[in-house]
Structure 1
Amino acid sequence: MTRSVVDSFPELVTSAASAGTIQALRLAIPAAAAWVAAAFAVGWSASTGLRAGVGSGILAVAAWGAFGRYAGRHRGGLDAPPVVWLSVVQRIVVAALVCASGAFFAVAWRVAAISNSPVARLAAVHQTAYVDLRIDSDPQPLVGRDGRVRAAFAATVLRVDDEVGPGAFRLHVPVFVVARDPGWFTVQPSQRVRATAHLSPARERALEAAVADVRGPPTIQSGVVWWQALAGAVRRGVQRAARSLPAGPRGLLPGIVDGDTTQLAPDVQADFATTGMTHLVAVSGTNLAIFLGAWLGLLRRLTYRRRWHLLFGVMGILAFVVVARPQPSVLRAGAMGLIALLGSTIGSRLSALAVLSAASLLLIYANPALARSYGFALSVIATASLLVGAPPLSRWMGRRIPAWLAAATAVPLAAALGCAPLIVSFTGRVSVFTVPANLLAEAAVGPATILGILTGAVAVVWPWAGSVVAHLAGIPCAWIIWVAHFFARLPGATMRWPSGFGGALSLAVVEASAVLAIRGLAARRRRRTGKPRTGPLADARFATPALTGSIARDWPVSD
């Protein structure tokens, strides 16, 4: 390596950093390390997780010292690696080890608290007990082996009283509840109930103390807190207002607004799965971006004070999370929104990929169970695919087709390429028409979301007017259903592919090979014509836009 190359390397690194690449990597790699660590540690004992955390911390200290000694011995030599580059690698490696150590400790602490609880000990011997529960999620229908429908939901045990043991214990441990009585479908999050439950060991690799098979109806001990009551009223308002719509839009409208798919027809669900459109009823970044853009746009017309924008923006995000329920994709979108709002308020220039990484890291620490959540993984991967892949794809296609069509096509194409390996690992199928289906449906998502939110808000105070707005929202919902039905009925709508890790890896290799082949063709054409690089992902390193100014304008939309 010549002196000129060595001297020029810091400028290259500085140029990359100015585009946000180094900043994004400093957060993306540590966040990924914490995610992987938490995913493994969830299946370990507390002692194993504790040892892994200590080991990662020791490795972080050793790596910091090793990088420092290496840089000190080779500083100034012609063959030495550039100090700027070495410093960047040192910080990223050490940060990754520290974040992984923190994830190991976070999981170990939760595993210890759960495994040592009285509920876990009773579940180990399949004991029946009286339990006081706090409802943490909406009951969902679960069909048992006998064909009977049961209510399934997450809850927290606050008190357990063994029927044959020494007495009652007050505690705070999560459980998964399966209730046979239909009265359990009426309970709401934050309510406290008492019931008799048969406790059995928790599901594999789940951060919960037991599976509680509840017998008999719930005994309500306390009502719903006011914010959950208001959120429940909005959700019920959307359902009531949509009752007069045709079957398809009647089930889809609540799904788009708040993720409630209990009324969605089975044939519509099948069409969405076939065409890769199920993300439309998994409330996430797209819905929050539309809602927050409209909300902040209204605020800008009412006041120009930035501090009020931050306050009401945070209130809007929290309200959205409560109404849509804290599903993994909703939590990811909400965390990104809060970080982006804070950054824009203080004038900090943050790349969207850095915001995604920070949000993922914080959520993994707060709730390590998300590390093994399929929905959370899809949400993060889809968002990262849009941020990294959509801009260069749009620029590349924009040289061949109209710019507006290139920008619109790049979004579903990038998301499809990024999520396909994970989806195929579970389903064993590849949706062939997912890009054109999502391209045609996306134009109706915004109107359906805005009108759906307006339906819920109006229906709470004026049900008749809410029904009128719901009929307007039913128009874009009907279009989305028609698009899904049309593409799902085309020959070859899905293609079989091996499932599991092997299938995901093979599909990722095929996608990467296709991208490299296209780039190779573009390179040969460039050598013949002397034109600059035009292949897809040619500038992917610099494809993370900065989140500054208007959140509505620069929001990283995702599914």
Structure 2
Amino acid sequence: MGTAGAAGGPRRSRSSGPDGPAAGRGAGGIDHRRRSLARPAAAGVVGHGVRRCRGPGHRPGHDVTVRSTVERSGRAHRHTRRDRDHCECRDHRQRHRSRDPAGSGHPPGRIPGGRGDRRRRRTGPGRRRDRSESGRPVGRRGLGHRDRHRRCGVRGGGRERCHRQFRLGGSGWCADRPELRRRHRAGHPARGGTGDGRQHRRLAGAERAVHLDRAAPGDFRDRPGPVRAVGRAGRRRVTVGGTRIPSADPAPTDPDGDGARSASPGCADDDRPDPPDLRLVPIALTAWAGCLLVPPGGPPGPPAVIAAAGAAAVLLGLAVRRPRWRAGLLAALLGLLTGLLVAGLHSAQRAADPLRVAAADGGSASVAGTVDGYPRPVASRFTDPAANSAAGPTADPTAGPGSTSGAAGDGQRWAVTITAHAGRVSGVEWAELDSPVTVYGRGPTWATLLPGQAISVSGRLASPARADLPPTLTSRRDARPESAPPWWYQAAGAVRSTLRDHASALPPDPAGLVPGLVVGDTGGIDDRLDADARTAGLTHLLAVSGSHFALLCGLAVLLLGAAGPRVAALGGLAVVIALVVLVGPEPSVLRAAVMGLVTVVALLSGRRRTGVPALAGAVLLLLLVEPALARSAGFALSVLATGALVLVAPWWVAALHYRGVPRGWAQLLCIPVAAQLATLPVIVAISGSISLVGVLANVLVAPVVAPALLVGMAAALCGPWWPSAAQVLVAVAGWLLDWMATVAHTLARWPVAALPWPATPAGVTVLVMLLLGAVAALRRRRPRHLLLAALVGVLGVLLPVKVVGVGWPPPGWLLVACEVGQGDAMVLSTGDPGTAVVVDTGPDPVVMDACLDRLGVTTVAVLMLTHLHADHVAGLAGALDGRLVGPVLTGPGRDPAGTWHAIESAAHVTGSIVSTPPVGSTYRVGALTLTVLGPTGEFHGTESDPNNDSLVVRAEMDGRRMLFTGDIEPPAQQALLRSPEALRADVLKIPHHGSARTLDRFLRAVDADIAVIGVGLDNDYGHPSPKLLAALASAGTGTVLRTDLHGDAAVVVDPAGGGLGTRVRGPDGVITTVSVRE
């Protein structure tokens, strides 16, 4: 047998033999061994390529081929011998000689010392890299390579194998037959199909097969990512140079536990989405950052210049040190500089605007301009009785028109954005202007204005609350149209008005939702629904947003797809333009429209249609046109939500679908979750709370939104020409949207609907880090379990505290005196959740805002400022911030004048009406009735005229009376005692923080059971006076609530006996009961 082996029998060699190179391949059909550069010589000939063994017991069949391999170290080349230098021991040869059919004495498929007799390849992260993987060019070893295999104790030889490797089942057996290598269980499936080896006709000489779905190293000239696998069950196809090559290797399952698989058996296609094209993202983000660095009110200051210079230096440094990143970093630097330049030019132009300069001085203007958008009602549920003579002595703030049809008469106030082209500003004529201005007016003509219509207005200018907003102009006259709008806006106006008229026959909630969802007309949505939708995370469905454009444009492309891609793209473009005309140029609408246009252009040009380039292009284009959008919260919410739907949601859907969840259900769950998580930091920065029911609410209403939108759009289009069909369709849409209103109202009432979160930059930053950590942890199985356990633990602690421990505001509350220091701030319940009446705002806006947040107040139906002292009005900004505010009522005093102008300017920004109600005026808000009792006239020559001019109001709810007296002193008290029967009340807000200047006769006339004193701890005035406290005891007032001792103090209706009770919330948040009176 040795002779036969020496004579060139069928010994299986890695470099020769009848099977060629494939005979020596390892598992999977991949040649893991290095090709020999020398060919074997003829049997029995000693020469190049053959080495004769000189060990004891040598036989001719033991001669093996010399494998001389070139290894490069710099420029030096050396040849090393890789083969055996002696024969194996005699007992080993006798034991295994019979197993070699060629008589060589070695197991089949083995050459002792060759590359084929390596140990079984490890699969962990620390294993040696195979030749089939990228990382170094073929035929080279890294410098400093050392053989990791143990020698058998023989010096001066090549790599040796210990004989125990050739035991039954050892690693030296059957390298080309993996199914026989291990005795206990099967290893990986046998491979070896065509397409994996170097001999494939589609693989060049320098290419080699790769391991699918294995992350590639980040070295230069390596592939950028793992190779994907697609194909039918049991087959795998490798993409090489754009060509798919089949392989017989069945696809693995999900080894990493991250939900991303190659292809599952029996799956016809790959579930994983295509990788996004992120090339435009850096330039869009840096352009956004550049716009944010420029202040809106003037040129960039030193902080902005330093920040921009630092960012530019970092980008340039990275571009120099990282050649592969150079193009992307230079593009990002270009975006940063472009954003700085464009925003700086717009800021300089805005600072030089004549209307803005005149508004800073409180001047007047008479301008001619063009209407830019549809009129929107301002405080339409709150009617000012002083301005509406038709209301008579009693006016209902909740009885507004509820729509934008103009049927409200002169009492409805409207806001219209126009672009002024010429006019007279502060006595100076301007022939050429291009200044945006927001006009507030009252009258029937304002509701009929349409975009593109030329009008002339005049009034008083005021500066906006933020420098990036246009100045405001309050007109005391009706609008004066000077030309008709274009025909397309006339058609859009007819569609909007007919849809609004048909929806008015529906119940209140659907009547406002149908126009709002279809055409963006939100004038009919009442405050209660708006507040509940905000709590439930459904505000994006109350008006037109990007999802509406996506749905309608996608439907148009789908219906026109049979006519070809160009016709479908043109149809989608027509839908985008029509929606912009119908809805109006709102920030979210503009973003969605531009994104749709970018997608259509990509379709027409034949480029790949992906959402990320379209979104990045839309952001970049909108910021170049209007850099002020960089500071718009609505714009940020739109971009973040769309980015989450494009980048995150497809991968989560694929992961759930891989785990057996139907694709439709996976989309229904993943889309709202991705959108909610992406927009959560911005929402927290705005509202200061985290909605815990947002995902559930969106999942519940998702099945009805798309049908309601399509049916409502059909009703809008049919309205002007087929009214009967439009009425039927509107009824169907209203029936669907009534479910959305029910979900919003129900979930908003849950005690765990929202959790407070600090809206400070530090709080938002912590929230972002937590979200990023949670998303990263979800990609691995073990951290995923830990994250779930931590979430359950946190909710297990917070939810019981929210449900049981907090209890604020207490059930049945009528009045809450906020602890604001030395000042007054009273909040009255109206019976409607989220709606309240505020009497004075205290000295600190932050404290006032926090008190209203604790009470869950999102709508201030009526805001009363008794007089203009700072301890009563300085916290006005806290009451206005982020809330709907109705009319602002003040006393007749205007001293100090600066405070009065500040109140007017702040009210104009929110669209509120500032007025002094006459004595006897009555306001009804929900279950609460307000009656103005004083002052009967302005006081002159008293010790404190502003205090005596305080507004005195009596509030009544469920038969309980409360009297609010401001800081009135004896002259005003004596004037009120002329009608003592009107003063009778159950609760009295003590005048002037409990000073001694309160008449005993006044306290006895009121005869209150509970007295409330707004006073600061250890104040310098000695309030409350001991004399006053003794007078209260003499008058029979049994309970005295003091904010300095009790904190936030509430008067409640006791649920047991129906009497009045009190609850107080101390500084530590502990709620206690002071007393209960039957």
> TM-score per shorter chain, which class?
0.7 to 0.9
Contact preservation (8 Å) 1:181, 1:215: no
2:450 maps to what in 1?
188
1:156-305 equivalences under 5 Å are: 156-162=419-425, 164-165=427-428, 167-181=429-443, 183-206=445-468, 208=470, 210-300=471-561, 304-305=563-564
2:73 maps to what in 1?
none
Contact preservation (8 Å) 2:297, 2:351: no
C-alpha separation between the residues in 2 aligned to 1:524 and 1:141?
A: 49
C-alpha separation between the residues in 2 aligned to 1:43 and 1:249?
A: 39
Deviation at 1:7, TM superposition (A): 4.9
Deviation at 1:56, TM superposition (A): 6.6
TM-score normalised by the chain length of structure 1: 0.82
1:341-387: CA deviation from partner (whole Å, max 9, x where unpaired): 11122220143112111111101111112111111110100111122
Pair 424,135 (structure 1): closer, same or farther in 2 beyond 3 Å: same
1:362 and 2:626 are equivalent in the alignment: no
Pair 493,59 (structure 1): closer, same or farther in 2 beyond 3 Å: closer
C-alpha separation between the residues in 1 aligned to 2:680 and 2:433?
A: 42
Residue aligned with 1:11, SS: coil
1:508 and 2:782 are equivalent in the alignment: no
Structure number with higher relative contact order (C-alpha < 8 Å, ≥ 6 residues apart): 1
C-alpha separation between the residues in 1 aligned to 2:698 and 2:564?
A: 38
Pair 484,124 (structure 1): closer, same or farther in 2 beyond 3 Å: closer
Deviation at 1:230, TM superposition (A): 1.4
1:414-462: CA deviation from partner (whole Å, max 9, x where unpaired): 1111111110111111111111211121111111010111011000212
2:222 maps to what in 1?
10
> Which one of the candidate residues 754, 768, 779 is aligned to 1:494?
754
Pair 214,380 (structure 1): closer, same or farther in 2 beyond 3 Å: same
> Which one of the candidate residues 354, 358, 364 is aligned to 1:118?
354
Query: Which letter maps to 2:500?
Result: Q
1:390-409: CA deviation from partner (whole Å, max 9, x where unpaired): 12222333355622322220
Q: In terms of Rg, which structure is larger? A: 2
Contact preservation (8 Å) 2:558, 2:568: no
1:438-517 equivalences under 5 Å are: 438-517=698-777
1:16-415 equivalences under 5 Å are: 23-24=277-278, 26-46=279-299, 59=312, 70=321, 86-87=323-324, 89-143=325-379, 148=384, 150-162=413-425, 164-165=427-428, 167-181=429-443, 183-206=445-468, 208=470, 210-300=471-561, 304-400=563-659, 402-404=661-663, 405-415=665-675
Residue aligned with 2:413, SS: strand
Deviation at 1:337, TM superposition (A): 1.0
More off after superposition, 254-263 vs 393-402:
393-402
Q: Give RMSD over aligned pairs.
A: 3.2
C-alpha separation between the residues in 1 aligned to 2:596 and 2:670?
A: 23
C-alpha separation between the residues in 2 aligned to 1:171 and 1:294?
A: 42
Contact preservation (8 Å) 1:57, 1:98: no
More off after superposition, 399-408 vs 330-339:
399-408
More off after superposition, 340-349 vs 174-183:
174-183
Query: Which letter maps to 1:336?
Result: M
Pair 164,337 (structure 1): closer, same or farther in 2 beyond 3 Å: closer
C-alpha separation between the residues in 1 aligned to 2:535 and 2:300?
A: 44
Contact preservation (8 Å) 1:134, 1:157: yes
Deviation at 1:58, TM superposition (A): 12
Query: Which letter maps to 2:509?
Result: G
Contact preservation (8 Å) 2:693, 2:753: yes
Query: Which letter maps to 2:493?
Result: G
1:546 maps to what in 2?
none
C-alpha separation between the residues in 2 aligned to 1:92 and 1:30?
A: 8
C-alpha separation between the residues in 1 aligned to 2:360 and 2:453?
A: 27
1:8-32: CA deviation from partner (whole Å, max 9, x where unpaired): 65312697999875831x2112111
C-alpha separation between the residues in 2 aligned to 1:461 and 1:177?
A: 34
Pair 108,455 (structure 1): closer, same or farther in 2 beyond 3 Å: same
Contact preservation (8 Å) 1:441, 1:479: yes
Pair 487,117 (structure 1): closer, same or farther in 2 beyond 3 Å: closer
C-alpha separation between the residues in 2 aligned to 1:362 and 1:377?
A: 15
Pair 108,225 (structure 1): closer, same or farther in 2 beyond 3 Å: same
Contact preservation (8 Å) 1:421, 1:503: no
Residue aligned with 2:506, SS: coil
Structure 1, unaligned stretches of length 5 or more?
71-80, 526-559
1:421 maps to what in 2?
681
Deviation at 1:327, TM superposition (A): 1.4
TM-score normalised by the chain length of structure 2: 0.44
Deviation at 1:52, TM superposition (A): 5.3
1 or 2, which has the higher helix percentage?
Answer: 1
Pair 524,159 (structure 1): closer, same or farther in 2 beyond 3 Å: closer
Residue aligned with 1:199, SS: strand
Contact preservation (8 Å) 1:428, 1:503: no
Residue aligned with 2:602, SS: helix
Contact preservation (8 Å) 2:319, 2:329: no
1:553 maps to what in 2?
none
C-alpha separation between the residues in 1 aligned to 2:357 and 2:650?
A: 53
What is the aligned-residue identity percentage?
31
Pair 233,400 (structure 1): closer, same or farther in 2 beyond 3 Å: same
1:159-211: CA deviation from partner (whole Å, max 9, x where unpaired): 1114633x343211112222244542332221111121212334423153x32
